[in-house]
A and B are shown apart, each in its own frame.
Chain A
C-alpha cells in the first residue's frame, strides 16, 4: 500500500498546540529519558519523525501519545528545544478530534471561539430549560417537598438521560479508537481471549494511574490522581445517591463526607493546576491550549457552585439555593456534554484504553514472534 504523506501536518498540529516539531534532529534523547519508552512503543522521537514526515495514517493508528503522561523531562532536556512533550500533548488533542465522528471535537480544538460559543449556548439553554421547568411546576422559594422548584427525582431522571447520551457518544468514539489502533491493524491479531484475560488492566490503569507514578516526579501523579478520584466520587454520588444528597437541611454524613471530600479535592487540584498554568515555571504547563483553560474553569465553577449549593441549602436560603442550582447546572451540562466526548475529559477513557490496547498488541506481537521462531523447527 502506498504511504500517503501530508506535508502540512505540522502546520495543522500547531493549531492543536505543537511547538517546534521541525527543529527536532532525532538524537533520541527524549526516548532515552522517558521511563515508558520501550519496544514496541518507542516515543516521543518516533512521533516527532512521523509528524515531520507527515504520516497522518500512521499517527492516527498510534497509541504512543496516550502512553505519555507529560512529566516534561523530554522537553526540559531536549537539545533542540523541539518540545517533544508538547508534541505528544498536541497529538492527544489531535487524536481526540480524530476519534470523534461528529467533527465537534475538531471544531473546538481549531477554534476557541466556537468552543466558548458552544459552552455559552448550552449554558443558556440549560438555564432557560431549568427555569421554565421549575416555574411550570413548583415555587422558587421551595427547595424540597411537593412544591419544590426542582425536585430531586426529576433531576435524577435528567442526569441519567444525560449520562446515557454521553456514554453513547464516548463509547462510539472509543470504538473508533479501537478500530484505528487495533482493529484495522493487519499485522497484529489480538485474540478475543486476550481481551477478556487482560480486562483487569482497564480499571487498574483508570483508578491507580500507576504508570504516572513511574515518572521521575511523583507529585504530578498525586495531584492528578486526587483530581480524578474526586471527580469519580462526585459522579458516583450524583448518579446513585442524589436523593440523600438533596434532602436536608439535616446533613446525611454517610454521603456528605464523601461529597465534601471530593469537592475539596476538586477545588484544591484545579487551583493547583490553574496556578501552574499561570506561573509557567514547569515545562509541561508552559503552553496552555484554550481547551485546557476551558476544562479547568468549568471544573472550578462546578465545584464552587456545588459547595455553595450545599451551604445555601443547609442554612435555609432556599430561593438562593434554587437560583444557585440553576447556575451550577449551567456549568455542569456544558462541561459534561461538550468536554466529556469532545474535549479534554475524554482522555479519562482513552488513556486507560490505550494502555490496555498497547498491552494486548505487545502480547500479540510477542506470541507471533514466538510462533515464527517455533515454526521452522516444526518443519
Chain B
C-alpha cells in the first residue's frame, strides 16, 4: 500500500525525548513509504495542498505521526476524501500515547510509526516475551483497590505484601458514610474486607510504611520499604485508649478530614486495621524535643508497648508483581477563591461533609453549621462543629465540578462528583427534611448502572437541581448567598444558604508522579498512571509485572475500582500460575516489531 508519512507536532508532548530527524530518515526507508514530510509544530494545514500531494504520490494510506496526531486528523481525513482516497486509511502514530519518553523516545516513536505504516495497532505488534516470575506480590496502597487486589491474590494462596502510607488500611472509602447509588453503608462493605486483610495468613500488612525504591526487572523485583517509626508495637497494643487520654498534644484529624482533632498518639478510627495506636512524630512533644519533655503515654501504657525512641526501619521484599493502588487526593478548594473555602466557615469540601454526616464522625452524624468558639490555649477564635450548640442548616447548596472540567484547574471530569453530590442531597433531605437543598451542576453525569434512576430519585425527593455553574459564594448577613444562572428556567438565582458543599474533584495522590518516575512507568498529562492500552489492557503498564488498580489510573467510582483491582489480581495470578509474566514493553526490539507488524499484515 502506497503510504505517505506526515510528522506534525502539537508541542504538548515531550518533544526533546524524540529525535525527529532520525525518525524522518527511518520512515523514508520503511517499505511502502512513498514520501515523508516533516510539517513541524502546529502547522497550518492547507487541505488543497494535501489533496494535491496525495494525488501526486498516488497515496493509498496516510500516516500522521507526532505527539498528539489526532489533533490533525480531521484535516487529513478531509484531504483524503477530497483526493478520492479511503479516509479510513488515515492512520495515527501517536508518540505520546505509546510512551515515547524516558530515553526510549526515539526508538518508541520509530516502532509506533512503523506499525502505523503497516496499518497494524502498535499494541498487537509490540508484545514482549515472558520472563520467569517470583510468586510474591507487593500491593502499594491499601484503599479499597489495594484491599481488593490483595484479598484476591492472597485468597488464591499467594503471598502479598500490602504497603500502606497511613496508620490504617481503608483509604478514602473508610471515611464515607454511604455509597451511591445503593446508599449502602460504606463501612458495612469495607470493614469485613479490612478485617479479612488484617487476619489473612498470606497478607503481610505494612501500615505506616512507604516504598522507597523498586529495583530489579520484571518478574524479579526488589522493593525497598521504609517502615516509618510507629512507636507503638502493633502486636502488643490492645487499643485501650489510655495513651490518648493522657496525651497533651492535639492535631487536626486526617481521618475526619480536619473537621475534628486527634491527639499526637492516636488511632485513626475505632475500626482501624491494624487495631493499634500510632505516634505522629511532628505533633508529639517527646519526639519534637528529642526526648527531653513529656513521654507520659509511654509511662502510662499498661502493656508497655510504646517505644517513643523507635526509628524507621527499611525492609527489602522480593516479589514478581507490583500492584499500584495509590488512590487519590481531592482538589485543593482554596485555589478557587470565589467559593470562599477557608475564608467562609460553612463552606465545606465533600470529604468534610462526608465526615460530618457520618455517624462515626465528630457530630455523630448530626448535620450542623459551625459554631464560633474561643480556644483558650491558642488564644484565637475558631469555627468548630458542635453537635449540641450547632444549628442545623435551613438551606444547603452543593456546587458540582469544583476544580474539574475547568481549563483553569483540571480539564478532566472527576467522574464521581455528580453522584456523590446527589448522595449528599439525599443525606441532607433524610436528616433535615425541612432544609432546602440546591445542586448547581453543569451536566449531570449519571452514567452507571442504576445511576440515572438514583438521580431521578433524588430530584423527586425535593432537591432543587439547578443547571448552571455557580461563580461566587458571598457572605451576607451571617449567611451566604450563592449566585448562578438557572439555565433551564432562564433566570438568575441568588439563594441564601447556611452551608455550601464543594464537590471537589480528584487529583493524583501526593508522590504519585515521583513514584512513577522511580518505577519507570508513564503518567498522562493529568498525572494519572498510564495503562498499556486504554481499551484492551487497562491494568498493565509499560513495565512488565507492574499493574495499576483504582483511581491512580484515572478517576473512577468504587464498583469500577473493585472490578479493576480484581482484574489486576487475575493478571498477577496468571503470571504465578504460568511461572512466567510479561517483560517490559521496552524489551521488544525495533526489528522484532517491524517483523511482527509485517507478519500481521500478511495474515
Contacts and interface: CB of A to CB of B under 8 A. Distances in A.
Interface of A: 25-33, 37-39, 42, 45, 77-81
B471 A79 contact: no
Nearest to B441: A27
A59 B266 CA distance: 64
Interface stretch (B110-118, B237-245, B484-492): B484-492
A41 to B, nearest CB: 10
A28 B440 CA distance: 10
Interface in B355-409: 401, 405-409
A34 to B, nearest CB: 8
Contacts of A42: 485, 490-492
Contacts, number: 63
Contacts of B407: 78-81
A81 B472 CA distance: 18
B491 A27 contact: no
A32 B470 contact: yes
Interface string B209-227: 0000000000000000000
Contacts of A79: 401, 405-409, 469
A31 B491 contact: no
A32 B471 contact: yes
Contact of B483 (A30, A32, A78): A32
B422 to A, nearest CB: 18
A31 B492 CA distance: 8
Given A32-B469, A33-B471, A39 B491 contact: yes
B518 interface: no
17 contacts: A27-B405, A27-B442, A27-B469, A28-B469, A31-B492, A32-B469, A32-B472, A32-B484, A33-B471, A39-B491, A39-B492, A45-B485, A45-B487, A77-B338, A79-B406, A79-B407, A81-B407
Contacts of B4: none
B468 interface: yes
A33 B472 contact: yes
Interface in B53-72: none
Interface string B472-484: 1000000000011
A37 B491 CA distance: 9
Report which residue of B407, B408, B485, B486 has the largest number of chain A beta carbons within 10 angstroms of its beta carbon: B485
A36 to B, nearest CB: 10
Given A26-B442, A32-B469, A33-B338, 15 more contacts: A25-B405, A27-B442, A27-B468, A27-B469, A29-B469, A32-B470, A32-B483, A32-B485, A32-B492, A33-B471, A33-B472, A37-B485, A42-B492, A45-B485, A79-B406
A207 B231 CA distance: 74
B408 A77 contact: yes
B338 A28 contact: no
Contacts of A77: 338, 408, 471
A138 B123 CA distance: 89
Nearest to A49: B487
Interface of B: 338, 401, 405-409, 442-443, 467-472, 483-487, 490-492
B408 A28 contact: no
Contact of A28 (B405, B406, B484): B484
A368 B485 CA distance: 24
A45 B486 CA distance: 11
A32 B468 contact: yes
Contacts of B486: 28
Contacts of A78: 407-408
Contacts of B490: 39, 42
A31 to B, nearest CB: 4
Contacts of A81: 407
Nearest to A26: B487
B398 to A, nearest CB: 15
A25 B485 CA distance: 14
A175 B405 CA distance: 44
Nearest to B400: A27
A29 B443 CA distance: 13
Nearest to B406: A79
Given A77-B338, A79-B407, A28 B485 contact: yes
A33 B485 CA distance: 9
A179 B401 CA distance: 42
B485 to A, nearest CB: 4
Contacts of B470: 29, 32
A55 B442 CA distance: 23
A37 B494 CA distance: 12
Nearest to A33: B471
A38 B487 contact: no
A25 B468 CA distance: 11
A96 to B, nearest CB: 27
Contacts of B487: 26, 28, 45
A31 B408 contact: no
